[in-house]
Amino acid sequence: MAKATKSTKAKKVAKAKAGARPAAKKVATKAKAAPKKKAKKAPVPAKPKAPAAKASRAGAKAEASSGRLTAGSPAPRFELKDQAGKTLSSDALRGAPYVLYFYPKDDTSGCTREACGFRDAGRSFGKLGARIIGVSPDSEASHAKFAGKYGLPFTLLADPDKVLAKAYGTWALKKNYGREYMGIVRSTFVVDAKGVVKRAFYGVKVDGHVDNVLAAVGAS
């Protein structure tokens, strides 16, 4: 009887072990079947967007016509009429230096002061062999009246179509009290005897400008 009891117990233990194994396998299978959770990637900071470029029609027009000249640029060629109705060409100016200054309008305060400044310094420019020439969109008749009123001894060229102004980059966008418009930017150029721009002054202020130009002529 004792032997039978022991064998019965052994069989029960074997059954228990056998029953436990499939359970373990099931657990292992479940563990394998469980999907792995992907690690969350840190969010990539968004790149700041560049501000959109703003351009008005006037600005685009100014950009297209405002090619500015620098020292070493060939001076644009021209043929325009002066206050006496005579045609002056850039070819005729070859062989001697000259000062070409652009101004907005005859007989206005700033333009008058500038013209009188060049007039008063005429002898100093003459000693350096440089000729003074003013240019604006005004007519020949307007130039004649302006020159006569202030005793201007130098040439004033009429550029009503702004052909020369555009060639020199002085016809550009201007701003005044929040208003935008196309107009002449007060500018001066020193051109040498070979027809090369030696100095370019854009957007100048009248006060002290003639002295700066005279110094540039003397240094060129």
Positions marked active-site: 111
**Both tokens assigned to 194:** 């070979």
Measured CA to CA in angstroms, residue 132 lies from 73, 152, 213 at distances of 19, 10, 11
Cβ distance 215 to 99 under 8 Å?
no
Q: In the Cβ-directed half-sphere of 135, how many Cα atoms lie within 13 Å? A: 29
The rounded distance, in Å, linking the Cα atoms of 114 and 167 is 22
CA angle 134, 128, 104 (to 5 degrees): 15
